[in-house]
Amino acid sequence: MESDEEEEYTLQGPVDDEGFPHGYCTLAYTSGDKFEGHFDHGAKSGKGSFHFYDGSKLEGAFDGGLLQGKGLYTYEDGSVLKGVYVDGELNGPAEEFNSEGQLTFRGQYSNGVRCGFCWIYSADGGCICGDVNDDGEMSGANIAYIYPGMKLALIGSFVDGELVKGQLANVVGISQDKPQYNMVSDGGIFKCDVSTNNSISSDPLLPDPYEQEMVYVGASTIQGASEGLFMKVPMKEDKVVAFYNGIRLMHSEVDARDWSRNGNTISLDEEIVIDVPPPFDDTKHYCASLGHKVNHSFSPNSKYDLFQHPRFGFVKCIRTIKPVTADEELTVEYGYDHHGCGPDNPDAPEWYKQQMKSLKGNN
């Protein structure tokens, strides 16, 4: 027997006089997909759900064999799409959430393709918004990346969500679900400028505007440290305050070097390490990002986190873990390996080992 999609299936449930599914039935298709729900003489009718072979699922109300009205699509990774369906196609408002329940998309669909003005949200707090093109991509000449906090934006041309050229603007409000901006005439020109293993930035002295409002470099209050990073304004916990960009090196290269050369390195992922080597550790030569200026503490007020930056690409950021006052120095726990060489002999520079011994001695 074949379904209304002309695919063979095995039926469990009642049938009508002609042998078509009628009532609550389960159809197991040869593709590995499965449908559970109500049928009216062979046509899906009422509540039902598709369970696809890849682990994803589509739920909603069917009429005449097609999904109509609100539907919920759950991807195999646990992320979900909530939208409005017309004759089985997404048509109308929709929202998407990641597996942790965080909003990742809000906008419209037409015949299964994103359309009109849409918002794409990142888990780090930033977002991109604007009119998508005919293919549903965030590409065009008047698209904005908005920093966390919804106060600053980079507005300009994007291709599939990547910044080509943008200018700084202040977000002054929201009208009809669209941000309203005031352009900053002397705010600089920004572009996607992801570092490589031999280039930290094409414009190393152009500060990040968000970071510029948050932090400044000053003489550290920590014994033995030279410079540190300080808050310009009071900040609540769980807020991004700085970015850690640098050249991108392989772990194997960094691990083979002496610790004296790794003072400004941080692991980005299992393959890549971010490094801010001389002369870029001096703000006279590099001030596009300042996260590398944050010093270590075993009682930190911040932590390293991941961030998808419109200019730097995938980097680390500094995120507060408790309220921080204006002019307070930011600190993170560097997190050197305490296991490879034993808990009392971490794979770390000598100053870190001495701080750890001192801390244990005081306790």
Q: Which of 109, 121, 147, 334 is catalytic?
A: 334
- Round to whole Å and give the CA distance between 291 and 279: 16
304 classed as catalytic: yes
Q: Which of 22, 51, 296, 309 is catalytic?
A: 296
CA distance readout (Å), 217 to 67, 167, 276, 282, 295: 57, 25, 15, 11, 11
334 classed as catalytic: yes
Residue 291 has φ and ψ, to the nearest 5°, of -60, -25
336 classed as catalytic: no
Q: Which of 292, 336, 338, 352 is catalytic?
A: 292
For residue 299, what is the enclosing H or E element?
Answer: none
User: Which token pair is 226?
Assistant: 């030279």
- For residue 171, give the amino acid letter: V
First and final C-alpha spacing in the chain: 75
Q: Identify which of 325, 333, 268 has the alpha carbon closest to the alpha carbon of residue 294.
A: 333
- Round to whole Å and give the CA distance between 107 and 115: 8
Q: Which of 244, 251, 309, 336 is catalytic?
A: 244
- Torsion over CA of 344, 346, 348 and 349, rounded to 10 degrees? 20
Q: Which of 304, 309, 336, 352 is catalytic?
A: 304
For residue 294, what is the enclosing H or E element?
Answer: none
- Round to whole Å and give the CA distance between 117 and 138: 9
339 classed as catalytic: no
For residue 352, what is the enclosing H or E element?
Answer: helix 350-362
Residues recognised as catalytic: 244, 292, 296, 304, 334
